[in-house]
Amino acid sequence: METAGDEVDAAGPDPAATGTAVRERRGSADAWGVAVLGACAAWALVTAAGRDGRPEGVLLAVLAVAAGYATGRIAGALLPVTAPAVGALAGLGLALGAPDATAGPRLAAPLGHAGATAALLTLSAGAACCAAWAAAAPFLRCALWLLAGGTAVAAAVQGSVAGCAACAGVLLCSLAATRMRHRGLGLAGPAAAVAAAGGLAWALAEDVLPEGLSASAEGQLGAYRVLLWRDAVALAGRDPLLGAGPGRFGELSPAAAQTLASDGRPHSAALQQAAEQGLVGLALLAAAGGWVLYALWRSPRGTPVVLSAAVSLAAVGVLATAGNALSFTTVTAGIGALAGVATARPFGDGE
């Protein structure tokens, strides 16, 4: 198993010094997480003050991530194989057996209301891959790989093209992770994918893409979703600093007011943050993603486990740029839990 941050001393580092360094690095990642999540909660309250904003959704999401992360860290330390395996089964069960957990307006393919279902299945695939890499028995590892592959089949049965592609991508990237020697390079790819997806969504909302590409993207996402995105950009332009206030997009968006099926969200996490909490809120969302990547980079777990979790979380981030996946507590708690499992040091691993 590689040490945190891929730092290996060829001469053989002193165990006590290495353990101290690892604890310090993990402590800095945890401190950054507390600061970022606290800032997200505080900024939601600031932007809601005096403008009839409803910050409860943001506060619940922050609480879900924090609780999931703490639970994942504890469970991952006690049961490094069982905890992610049970989490994968739980996510699969919620996505298939509890449709109310991911209910919402049915927008056009490829996401629609299934954005949350696709996100849960993607997290399940990532958890199964993490458990497979942590398992020692070949039979158990094979069973967990099959579980990860089963999430892609389940997404296909649910009719979620995006979910099927995301789960299959997580499985393939996880299998290839064993060849990645430096996790920093491996983490850069998922981060770039999320940034590119967010930039593409913003460019489509601003109508600055080439005509052919814009028409193709709009045909895939649906004209109504693109109208919601353009309303979000317009709201962000009116008050770039504070935004319109948490939970106010639905009452201020002309496109959302045109349909009874609207859930009052623009179906893009980045655009919703910009519209309701301004560019500061968008920067805090990016900082939260940066914290997760930093915590994974400093994780004491092996690189395949870390990269499996990173690809899964990045896939959920991509889904969230074109859907409302982060509006569901089950998804935000699952994000925190998977990140916690992938950054936990199992008991028995010497420092």
Give the Cα separation of 96 and 79 in Å (integer).
Answer: 25
Residue 273 neighbours by CB under 8 Å, 6+ apart: 243, 281, 282, 284, 285
Cα 331 to Cα 80, 262, 268, 312: the distances in Å are: 21, 20, 15, 12
Cβ atoms < 10 Å from Cβ of 159: 13
Closest to 201 in 3D by CA, of 311, 282, 136: 282
Dihedral sign computed on CA atoms, order 292, 350, 304, 137: negative
Give the Cα separation of 89 and 103 in Å (integer).
Answer: 20
Give the Cα separation of 200 and 273 in Å (integer).
Answer: 16
Helix runs in the chain, H state only = 15-48, 56-78, 82-97, 114-134, 138-157, 161-176, 183-206, 211-221, 223-238, 249-252, 254-257, 269-297, 303-320, 329-343
Residue 3 neighbours by CB under 8 Å, 6+ apart: 18, 22, 300
| Cβ–Cβ < 8 Å for 253, 266 | yes
Give the Cα separation of 252 and 256 in Å (integer).
Answer: 8
Query: Residue 65: is it exposed, middle or buried by C-beta count within 10 angstroms (0-12/13-18/19+)?
Result: buried
Longest dimension (CA), the chain: 68
Which 8-state DSSP code applies to residue 54?
Answer: -
Structure pTM?
0.88
Give the Cα separation of 298 and 137 in Å (integer).
Answer: 27
| Cβ–Cβ < 8 Å for 2, 186 | no
Residuewise pLDDT in 10s, the chain (351 residues): 444 444 433 334 444 444 455 455 567 888 999 999 999 999 999 999 878 888 999 999 999 999 999 999 999 999 999 999 999 999 999 888 765 554 444 444 444 445 788 999 999 999 999 999 999 999 999 999 999 999 999 999 888 888 999 999 999 999 998 888 788 889 999 999 999 999 999 999 988 888 888 888 888 888 888 899 999 999 999 999 999 999 899 888 888 877 656 677 888 999 999 999 999 999 999 999 999 999 999 999 999 999 999 999 999 999 999 888 898 999 999 999 999 999 999 986 544
Tokens (6 digits) for 119: 């996100």
